[in-house]
Structure 1
Amino acid sequence: MGIWWWRLILVSLAGILFSPKHGASQRVTGMKYTFMKNASSAPSVSYYEYEYIVIGGGTAGCPLAATLSEKHKVLVLERGPSPYGNPNITNLDAFGAALSDTSPNSPSQRFISQDGVINSRARVLGGGSCLNAGFYTRASPYYVREAGWDGKLVKKSYEWVERVVAFEPIVRQWQSAVRGGLLEVGVLPYNGFTFDHIRGTKVGGTIFDQHGHRHTAADLLEYANPTQLTVLLQATVSKILFTNKGSRSRPVASGVIFMDALGREHRVYLKQGPKSEIIVSAGALGSPQLLMLSGIGAERELRKHNIDVVLNQPLVGQGMSDNPMNAIFVPSPVPVEVSLIEVVGITNVGSYIEAASGQMFTSRSPRDYGMFSPKIGQFSKLPPKQRSPEAVAKAIEKMGMLEPAAFRGGFILEKIMGPISTGELQLETSDPNDNPSVSFNYFKDPRDLRRCVQGIRTIEKVIESKAFSRFRYHNMSASVLLNMTANSPVNLLPKHSNTATSLEQFCRDTVMTIWHYHGGCQVGRVVDARYKVIGVDALRVIDGSTFNCSPGTNPQATVMMLGRYMGVKILRERLAGAETE
């Protein structure tokens, strides 16, 4: 038995002994992998060494690569750095610092949709799990059935993920009050702590352990066979290479071109064989963007950028969605703890209610406000189209002038399920480092707007509930807080105005992202049920770009699960093929 088998057994035992239900912490801060290298150390050309090239070491790519490495040689190309040793990623109290960093070396890359909503995409090993608010919850059984997944393998894949990265949060006073308010206003039943997506109110999981340390998809590389895996950091893939074996044959993915941090070009060619594959796991923006840059997309659009057409596929980049988030700020007369998302109300009207609280201090930005700071682009004072860089800068300046007491309190938010409204993604340039153009068309479908209104009404009831009464000023009604949130200079303090805001207008004007965007390479449109790109061979896409709607209340658990799930499915396919040969 090889040493890597013993390594896997030890990881599994650790998962059993130190799982969330036992309340233990798995601290991996500073952990380094022997197979992790900077891309500048790679040869300029590599021939036929790897059976799988995974483009993107993110939330799906890490568990996928770890699984495939059990049996095969795998190369991961990640455009960002390592998350290890970066306290802005690791520590809960620093949440927002990485998202507010707009430098070229930041682990997040800011983009603004055509709708005007400021957003971010990950640029770091571990992907969005290094930047998000940490909430961990599975998809519903209905979602699993609709996706056509094997329910038993889905369950095992979630459990594989959870042994390393998922924990039960310590629910303190603010989150407890929100939970009590949800139950009081009828978001029933109470389901306690569970990873499962069940209608009613529950405490979900978190990827922050009891010491406030974040655990990410990169930690799932602990499962990998270190002799079979290579991870190259700061490797930006610019193109997938294809070969044609004849005039009537389909294009076959055969290799990739990537650039290192020094701007040097590298080429890697797949090991020759019918089972070798390139798998794109570059995220909901990166995956459709890379397919287009490689010649798979709408022919007319590709020719605008002088890209040779490999496959005319106009559905690449279509069906883009981002779940709209709207929130109400509730100033508190008493101090509140720092908390991200822990409690969720899964309503029967198509909206999810969550909350975050407390003043977050970081060494760089002593007045960041967690999930709702203009420093990270969460700016709701102005309608989306008016959120100019100048307006954001002015809001940040005004926020710096406020007394610390102004930050005491928290936000209660709602996110609609789905959503039904969709948009599209197009190339802006042929540079893979540039953001593509993307629109999400928030609330274009009136059903999404109705769900938002119903969600805000639920929040108003929670605020006015007896269970939540300790954390609100009793001379501030929910309608006052609504108007305050919509019209304040920095989402925190009220503007003196007698003009009431309709809930429909509130939803449109204060819409923000909760970073759950998806689509662009959807199953049945761009990829088939096995996530193979339709019309070419040896190429798959496995990540959130394949989703038709966002799973559960928060998608990261399902994206990690999908990486593991499809890794197992691919290994099983190869084994079955070998047995029939």
Structure 2
Amino acid sequence: MEYDYVIIGAGSAGCVLANRLSADPGVSVALIEAGGQDDKLEIRMPAGFKALFKTDYDWNYTTAKQSEMSGRELYWPRGRVIGGSSSMNAQMWVRGCGRDYDQWEVPGWAYADVLPYFRKAERRIGSNRDDVYGTDGPLYVSELRSPNVTTAAFLQACEELGFTRLAELNGPSNEGYSPTPVTQNRGRRWSSADAYLRPAGKRPNLTVITDATVDRVVFDGRRATGVEYGGGALVKARREVLLSAGAIGSPYLLMRSGVGAADELRDAGIPVVHDLPAVGRNLQDHLVSGVFVECKQPVTLTKAESIGNLLRYLVLRSGMLTTNVGEAVAFLRTSADEPAPDIELVFAPGPFVDHGLTPPTGHGLTVGVVLLQPESRGRVGLNGRDVLIDPGYLAEEADVRRLVAGLKTAKQVFATAAMKPYAGPPMAPYWAPESDEELAQWVRERGETLYHPVGTCRMGVDGDSVVDPELRVRGLDGLRVVDASIMPTLNRGHTHAPAVMIGEKAADLIRGGA
């Protein structure tokens, strides 16, 4: 099998590449995905994503023990299915703010450069702000069809506390509060596969190979010439191999292919193709803690999966099962010294504990507190030939300080008059810590990932970066990385939107249009 382009990973960026590159009938494209088809009801139904965790649709990663997180190993779900993590995320379309991209200081990737690619992707429904959003792209972005009554109370609480109401969340500044725009089409999840891959699926020059785990990239000298998967099958690439396997999969695959820190590769018994020490370094993730309270009224998402709600969803595409769980957000600065928001509050009209894997004992409410710009850095490496994920959470004390300040603000939200009809006493496992020391202990004992790893194939102009501004792997030919792993720093938002943007911009770079 031989194609012009071979793409590894049918996730947020990989589906974009498959569509845009195969739009040229003169080239042939292969897309290889480790997982299977995305036809499960829990993928289509927005509230069903937690049912996909720790199943065959999930890579089901576990981090190394985190010394600053009470020695815990943390669960990291990542999508192993057509659509990748866009088929099992919370559908929040949150670009971040303009400063996020300007601070990368990479030519061609400033906010003004990337904004047209966000807009190219978007088909914004239910908004008159076409000065902010694209309106004819393939990716539906809409309002929630059936937001919970407590979500309106959260938004009123933000107003009561003096926060800024955002007319649209995805403008140049996102400081303030807003309902969450979601990647849904008439109450149904709209993944990258829905937006990009399915419309291209019948093209004769696009081949999609599923249930195929890639073992390594194949090289002829310093040039990538194809990939090997399934224990020996070979797919050749006449022009380029494009890694879109995500912030864990892309660096891990580079290392398994002999590209990385030479000493680490040799220790793992992997022949060195190219010594590139930065591969796997610079790992960043959004760490989230939260405040949980009982709800005085039985109006939350607890028992949302009743037969009545399921029928309402299946027949009308409305009701509680259209929720994305994180129904509203607020982006805040914890001090006047912060140049932009450093904390995000995510409101969930239910007790979202342990990734939703722990069944709720009653009706409750959650305000999650997300550290947007962590100073701590981790890595993806090798443990023998297995992957090692060490996010290095809370290695920098400033990260603890910001999360503690955010938790104090979350507690203020529940103390407002707007929340008084709903917010009750603390709900287990939350034990109502008060002092800074107790709040820091709560973060260390119960903090979790918000599912946004980036940075492990960092883009830059310096020789220590993994990829250059055109996403070409330094020192090699015919090989690029196109996913969130190339982001030098995290955005003050969520990572599905920039991953799609990266796919859109990369397609133009590959075709010579940018």
Partner of residue 304, structure 1: 267
Tell me what 1:517 maps to.
Answer: 453
How many Å separate the matches in 2 of 1:564 and 1:216? 15
- What stretches of structure 2 of length at least 5 have no aligned partner? 67-72, 124-138, 302-322, 335-341
In the superposition, relative to structure 1, how do residues 152 and 204 fare at CA in structure 2: closer, same or farther (>3 Å)?
A: same
Partner residue in 2 for 1:240: 217
* Cα offset, 1:191, TM superposition: 0.9
Separation in 1 of the partners of 2:430 and 2:119? 41
Residues 223-302 of structure 1: pairs in structure 2 closer than 5 A: 223-224=199-200, 226-244=203-221, 251-259=222-230, 265-271=232-238, 276-302=239-265
Residue 461 (str. 1) matches residue 429 (str. 2) = no
Aligned partners of 2:96 and 2:174 also within 8 Å: no
Offset at 1:552?
3.2
Q: Which residue does 2:193 correspond to in 1?
A: 218
Q: Is the partner of 1:206 in helix, strand or coil? A: coil
State the Cα distance separating 1:153 from its structure 2 match: 5.7
Cross-structure match for 1:366: none
Kept in 2, the 8 Å contact 1:165–1:217? The answer is: no
Q: Which residue in 1 is equivalent to 2:390?
A: 439
Q: TM-score, normalised by structure 2?
A: 0.82
Q: CA RMSD in A?
A: 2.3
Does the CA-based 8 Å contact 1:157-1:561 persist in structure 2?
yes
Question: Mind listing any 5+ residue stretches in structure 1 that lack a counterpart?
Answer: 1-45, 245-250, 359-368, 377-395, 488-493, 577-581
Q: Structure 1 residue 95 and structure 2 residue 49: aligned?
A: yes
Q: How far 1:539 sits from its partner (Å)?
A: 0.6
* Per-residue deviation, residues 239-282 of structure 1 (Å, max 9, x unmatched): 111112xxxxxx011111011xxxx52101122xxxx1111010
- 1:217 Cα deviation from its structure 2 partner: 0.8
The alpha-carbon distance between structure 1 residues 336 and 160, as it changes in their structure 2 partners (threshold 3 A), is farther
Alpha-carbon distance between aligned partners in 2 of 1:100 and 1:270, rounded to the nearest angstrom: 33
Give the C-alpha shift of residue 232 in structure 1: 0.6
Q: Which of 353, 356, 359 is equivalent to 1:372?
A: 353
- Residue 203 of structure 1 and its aligned partner are, at CA, apart by 2.0
1:331 aligns with 2:298: no
C-alpha separation between the residues in 1 aligned to 2:57 and 2:237? Answer: 31
1:521, 1:134 → 2: CA distance?
A: 24
* Equivalent residue number for residue 161 of structure 1: 121
Counterpart position of 2:70 = none
Kept after mapping to 2: 8 A contact 1:333/1:472: yes
Equivalence map 1:99-498=2 (5 Å): 99-101=53-55, 105-115=56-66, 116-147=73-104, 148=106, 149=109, 151=111, 154-163=114-123, 164-170=139-145, 171-187=147-163, 189-196=164-171, 197-211=173-187, 213-219=188-194, 220-224=196-200, 226-244=203-221, 251-259=222-230, 265-271=232-238, 276-338=239-301, 339=323, 340-349=325-334, 350-358=342-350, 371-373=352-354, 376=357, 406-430=361-385, 434=386, 436-473=387-424, 476=425, 481=426, 484-487=428-431
In structure 2, distance between residues paired with 1:558 and 1:54? 18
Change beyond 3 A, Cα 1:200–1:288: same
Is the CA contact 1:136–1:556 (under 8 Å) kept in the aligned structure 2? yes
CA contact (8 A) 2:62 2:389 kept: no
The answer to whether the 8 A contact 1:88-1:94 is kept is yes
TM-score (norm 1): 0.73
Change (3 A) 1:78 1:545: same
Deviation at 1:207, TM superposition (A): 1.6
Kindly tell me the number of residue pairs found equivalent between the two proteins.
Answer: 451
Give the secondary-structure state (helix, strand or coil) at the position aligned to 2:61. strand
The answer to whether the Cα contact below 8 Å between 1:255 and 1:267 also exists between their aligned partners in 2 is: yes
Change (3 A) 1:173 1:533: same
Paired AA for residue 422 in structure 1: R
Residue 527 of structure 1 corresponds to which residue in structure 2? Answer: 467
Q: Which SS does the other structure have where 1:506 is aligned?
A: helix
Specify which of 538, 547, 553 is matched with residue 493 of structure 2: 553
The offset of 1:152, in angstroms, is: 5.6
**How far apart in 1 are the matches of 2:327 and 2:18?**
29
Shift in alpha-carbon separation, 1:100–1:183, aligned structure 2, 3 A:
farther
**Secondary structure at 1:88's aligned position in 2?**
helix
Q: Aligned match of 1:61 in 14, 37, 61?
A: 14
Q: Percent identity at matched positions?
A: 28
- Would you say the 8 A contact 2:97–2:493 is kept in 1? no
Residues 273-320 of structure 1 deviation map (CA, whole Å, 9 limit, x = unaligned) = xxx111101011100000000000111111122111001111111111
AA partner of residue 355 (structure 1): F
Q: Is the 8 A contact 1:98 1:108 kept in 2?
A: no
Distance 1:298-1:77 versus aligned 2 partners, 3 A rule: same
The C-alpha deviation readout for 1:18-44, integer Å capped at 9, x for no partner, is xxxxxxxxxxxxxxxxxxxxxxxxxxx
1:100 deviates by: 4.0
CA contact (8 A) 2:144 2:181 kept: yes
Q: Of the two, which has the highest radius of gyration?
A: 1
- Can you list the C-alpha shifts for 1:505-561, whole angstroms capped at 9, x where unaligned? 222222111111112111121111111101111111111111222223211111111
